[in-house]
């Protein structure tokens, strides 16, 4: 079915309005009784990572990225030595910058990155703490799976994000299942890539990612669309679509690129409360999912 969301209010970041990859392309957590949010932002010469206080919007710490990098998605993780780190993708530089998650001091830069993506770009990244793997997007329909060394996992080849059939609360079909273009009229596979042979409607421009540990699914933004997709990482199937078109209507936006982008699940809410925002948005919204 189609999920519904209710905005409970906005929290101004008190930071400069930026081409943010969001409060979600990082992490949120408690520190001394207060909620801290870490985000990564983009644009050449202006990319940075910063941590801010959710209640006050005060920037606690901030680190500027090198001017040659266009910052994209980020995710917090723990390496095999127990270090809490923050991995930040770059847009077209095929590089990953790793920071200390608590101090935001740079630990290392992997350039070029160990594993290519479908488009050679980096968009979103999330970390599964149980399997201890990264899931990465590149603006296409594909999900890539990397190990802690950012190497592609041979047993987990890239898979496409796809829709088969979704129904609303009245059992009305919202998206009908249809065969991929690579299937013949008799249903048999024709020559083509593995992506083309997947049944269903492929969804491109998959952007920001957030790992939901409560359901072991991915939450994802889709570039230039006001939705959040819930994705089963085992097969790429979209199991739920959340509509955010009323959160910040397009007529209230001033730039073509100030799109809905950014998700963070608040800890201790069983995955029911999120922070969401957009590029160049002056607010971050705390919402509760009604499902």
Q: Which domains occur in the chain, in start order?
A: 16-174+199-288 (2.110.10)
Q: What is the pLDDT of residues 104-148, one digit of tens each?
A: 999 999 999 999 999 999 999 999 999 999 999 999 999 999 999
Cα(131)–Cα(146) distance, integer angstroms: 11
Q: What is the pLDDT of residues 45-95, one digit of tens each?
A: 999 999 988 888 889 999 999 999 999 999 999 999 999 999 999 999 999
32 vs 229, which has greater pLDDT? 229
Cα(2)–Cα(190) distance, integer angstroms: 33
36 vs 156, which has greater pLDDT? 156
Q: How is residue 144 written in tokens?
A: 């890539």
Rounded to two decimals, what is the model's pTM? Answer: 0.80
The contacts of residue 251 (CB under 8 Å, 6+ apart) are none
Cα(206)–Cα(92) distance, integer angstroms: 16
Q: What is the pLDDT of residues 217-228, one digit of tens each?
A: 999 999 888 899
Cα(205)–Cα(253) distance, integer angstroms: 21
Per-residue pLDDT band for 199 (boundaries 50, 70, 90) equals low
Name the average pLDDT for the chain: 79
């Amino acid at each position: 079915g189609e999920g519904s969301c209710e905005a409970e209010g906005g929290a101004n970041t008190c930071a400069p309005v930026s081409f943010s990859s969001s409060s979600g392309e990082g992490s949120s957590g408690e520190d001394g009784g207060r909620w801290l949010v870490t985000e990564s932002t983009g644009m050449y010469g202006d990319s940075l990572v910063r941590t801010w206080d959710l209640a006050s919007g005060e920037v606690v710490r901030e680190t500027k990225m090198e001017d040659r990098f266009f910052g994209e998605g980020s995710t917090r993780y723990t390496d095999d030595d127990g270090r809490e780190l923050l991995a930040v993708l770059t847009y077209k530089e095929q590089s990953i910058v790793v920071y200390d998650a608590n101090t935001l001091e740079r630990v290392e830069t992997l350039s070029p990155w160990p594993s290519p993506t479908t488009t050679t770009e980096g968009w979103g990244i999330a970390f599964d703490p149980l399997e201890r793997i990264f899931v990465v997007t590149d603006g296409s329909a594909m999900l890539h799976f990397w190990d802690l060394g950012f190497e592609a996992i041979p047993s987990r080849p890239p898979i496409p994000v796809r829709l088969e059939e979704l129904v609303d609360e009245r059992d009305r079909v919202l998206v009908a299942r249809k065969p991929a273009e690579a299937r013949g009229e008799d249903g048999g596979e024709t020559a083509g890539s593995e992506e083309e042979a997947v049944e269903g409607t492929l969804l491109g421009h998959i952007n920001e990612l957030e790992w939901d540990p409560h359901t072991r699914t991915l939450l994802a933004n889709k570039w230039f669309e006001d939705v959040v997709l819930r994705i089963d990482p085992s097969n790429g199937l979209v199991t739920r679509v959340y509509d955010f078109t009323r959160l910040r209507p397009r007529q209230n936006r001033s730039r073509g690129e100030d799109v809905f982008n950014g998700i963070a699940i608040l800890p201790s809410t069983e995955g029911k409360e999120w922070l969401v925002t957009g590029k160049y948005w002056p607010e971050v919204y705390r919402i509760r999912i009604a499902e």
